[in-house]
């Protein structure tokens, strides 16, 4: 078959060309004999979630002065201490918090913050400074630094159809798989299957066509592994029938079936609340809170929670004062929420945001987000954060 005919007659010339991204990490997983490691689950809230209406500083009068129509009514706040509490749409997390399985870090950000969704998300995903422009993500560089020379490397899975910048390294990448059975079905299509069998023993060259054949062969075996491994476990816990609920249910299936990975990445969008914030954010927070609560309870029941840490972030918070459209505009510092069975400091890690000393109407960051990443790298993934973050960060004491 001529190369042009091959490309024209296969789905590899279209969106399915992304299938090779599943390849090498899954093949390595199939051979891995590493057990007993810790799982990191990252939840990205896209759009710039308003942290002040998520973890509500109901004990601060300035909050109500600055947000006279969109502030959460004090009687509706689920109070966690004398100053801060949960948005009522996060009621499912109260039990998790009371059990010591949740930690909140306030005022997380970085110097010279950027208020662009795309640029700030790039900064969070690459762990760069605001003046740096990196093409690799912090999880990708973790894979680069930890897996280049190992035969059976750990890897990272994004439960989605596309792979985020955070998961892309120079040599290694995570994989994006939303449904292992669909990947399996794709590789079992007659044309795909015939090509794999016809060229399985061929002497493949390094040209483009040889690379495609080799990729298809390896993807074929990898899809078989992930499907057959994950189907050995059935999730019995009830999850909400939402996108995030389904993503976390899939992560539970992967973890409990023994899939050999270290990092899982999921996301929830819809947090850009310039207009009519209360209803829009409330809906998204309920989706988030209900899904996370189901996931934490599920892993606690199966005995996997002590080996799992969940971190939630958004690319920035919102301005302290509401706008004229009953919403909030792009801001800076925000809170991070953590969940797990081995938190060293459950509850609030630090003080509530300072609503007096502002930077042009925005919160001043008190904790560099890269210190959060450094803690995850050093104390959870067991790799020197300086190899990943390009300079050493002291880290924190939440685990």
Q: What residues does each domain of the chain span?
A: 41-143+239-389
Domain 41-143+239-389 has CATH 3.40.720: yes
The residue with greater pLDDT, 28 or 346, is: 346
In this predicted structure, which of 29-43, 124-138, 272-286, 370-384 has the lowest mean pLDDT?
29-43
Mean pLDDT of 271-297: 98
Q: How confident is the model at residue 3 (pLDDT cuts 50, 70, 90)?
A: very low
Q: Is the pLDDT of residue 128 over 80?
A: yes
Q: How confident is the model at residue 249 (pLDDT cuts 50, 70, 90)?
A: very high
C-alpha span between 214 and 86 (Å, rounded): 51
Mean pLDDT of 41-58: 98
Mean pLDDT of 174-191: 79
């Amino acid at each position: 078959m001529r190369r042009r005919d091959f490309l024209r007659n296969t789905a590899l010339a279209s969106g399915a060309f992304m299938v090779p991204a599943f390849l090498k990490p899954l093949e390595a997983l199939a051979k891995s004999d590493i057990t007993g490691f810790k799982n990191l689950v990252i939840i990205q809230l896209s759009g710039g979630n308003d942290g002040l209406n998520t973890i509500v500083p109901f004990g601060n009068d300035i909050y109500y002065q600055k947000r006279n129509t969109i502030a959460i009514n004090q009687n509706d706040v689920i109070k966690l201490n004398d100053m801060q509490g949960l948005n009522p749409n996060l009621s499912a997390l109260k039990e998790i918090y009371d059990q010591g399985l949740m930690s909140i870090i306030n005022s997380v950000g970085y110097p010279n913050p950027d208020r662009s969704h795309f640029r700030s998300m790039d900064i969070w995903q690459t762990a760069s400074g605001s003046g740096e422009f990196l093409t690799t993500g912090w999880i990708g560089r973790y894979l680069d630094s930890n897996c280049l020379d190992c035969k059976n490397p750990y890897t990272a899975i994004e439960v989605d159809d596309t792979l985020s910048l955070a998961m892309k390294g120079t040599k290694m990448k995570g994989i994006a798989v939303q449904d292992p059975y669909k990947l399996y079905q794709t590789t079992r299509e007659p044309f795909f299957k015939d090509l794999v069998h016809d060229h399985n023993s061929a002497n493949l060259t390094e040209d483009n066509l040889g690379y495609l054949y080799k990729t298809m062969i390896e993807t074929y075996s990898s899809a078989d592994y992930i499907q057959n491994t994950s189907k050995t476990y059935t999730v019995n816990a009830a999850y909400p029938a939402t996108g995030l609920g389904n993503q976390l249910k899939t992560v539970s299936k992967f973890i409990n079936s023994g899939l050999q990975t270290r990092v899982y990445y999921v996301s929830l969008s819809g947090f850009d609340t310039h207009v009519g914030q209360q209803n829009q954010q409330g809906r998204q927070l309920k989706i988030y809170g209900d899904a996370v609560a189901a996931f934490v309870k599920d892993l606690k029941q199966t005995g996997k929670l002590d080996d799992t840490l969940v971190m939630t972030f958004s690319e920035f918070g919102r301005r302290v004062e509401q706008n004229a459209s009953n919403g909030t505009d792009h801001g800076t510092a925000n809170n991070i929420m953590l969940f797990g069975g081995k938190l060293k400091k459950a509850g609030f890690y630090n003080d509530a945001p300072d609503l007096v000393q502002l930077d042009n109407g925005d919160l001043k960051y008190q904790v560099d987000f890269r210190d959060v990443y450094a803690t995850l790298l050093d104390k959870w993934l067991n790799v020197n954060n300086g190899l990943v973050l390009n300079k050493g960060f002291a880290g924190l004491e939440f685990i």
